[in-house]
Amino acid sequence: MGALESLGERYPQLDICRDAIEQARNILVTSLEGGGKLLLAGNGGSAADAGHISGELLKSFCKKRPILQDIAAKIGSEMASNLEGALPAISLPDFVSFHTAYANDRSAEYNFAQLVLALGDEGDVLWALSTSGNSKNIIHAIRTARAKNLKVIGLTGRSGGMMCDLCTTCICVPEEETFKIQELHLPVYHALCQAIEAHFF
C-alpha cells in the first residue's frame, strides 16, 4: 500500500483532502524531476514543520537512499557509505541571521517574500504552511512565488484563508483550532515525503 493510501486508512477525516494531497505530490515530483527545488515557509509551529519536512527530504526517511555510482566512485567508499541520496528542500525559517537583519532593516512582513525573490527559480515549488491561511508574510511569499512562476502548495486549516485562492493547490485539513490543525499537518507531510521518496528511490 502506498503512503497516500495508508494515510487515508489511518486518518479517514483527511479523505476530504485526498485530491489536493495527490495534486501536491504530482507538483513536487514534476518539479524535482525537472531539476527544481522545494522552498518551505511557515511561522511558529509551522516554521518547525518546514524544517521537519526539509529534514525528511535531505536524507533518508523511510528507506535507504544510495548515492549515484559516479559520485561514489569519485569520493571513495568510506565517504560514499556515509552519504545518502538527497532531494533539494530548503527551510526558509532557518535563515536566522537574515531574518533578524531584515526585520531590523525593513519589515518582517516581507521576510519570506525576499527569500523567495532571492532563491526561487521558475520550476521550483514553494510549500507554504499557515494554520490560519492568512499570515501576511506567507501571503506575500506566495504572491512573489507566483510572480516568478513557481508552483505553490498550501497547507492550512478548514477555511483555507486568503492563501487558498492564491496557491496552485491547497490542502485544507478539517480542523479549526491551531493545535488540532497542526496535529493533522504532520501526517499529511509525512505521507507526502514518503510518497516522494518512494518515487525517487
Domains delineated in the chain: 3-200 (3.40.50.10490)
- Report, as ranges of residue numbers, the positions in the chain whose pLDDT lies below 70: none
Q: What is the pTM of this model?
A: 0.96
30-39 pLDDT tens trace: 999 999 999 9
What's the pLDDT score for residue 102?
A: 97
Q: 3-class secondary structure for the chain?
A: CCHHHHHHHHCHHHHHHHHHHHHHHHHHHHHHHCCCCEEEECCCHHHHHHHHHHHHHHCCCCCCCCCCHHHHHHHCHHHHHHCCCCCCEEEHHHCHHHHHHHHHHCCHHHHHHHHHHHHCCCCCEEEEECCCCCCHHHHHHHHHHHHCCCEEEEEECCCCCHHHHCCCEEEECCCCCHHHHHHHHHHHHHHHHHHHHHHHC
Nearest by Cα to 133 from 42, 37, 194, 44: 42
- Count other Cβ atoms within 10 Å, centred on residue 8: 17
Nearest by Cα to 57 from 28, 81, 94: 28
What's the pLDDT score for residue 68?
A: 87
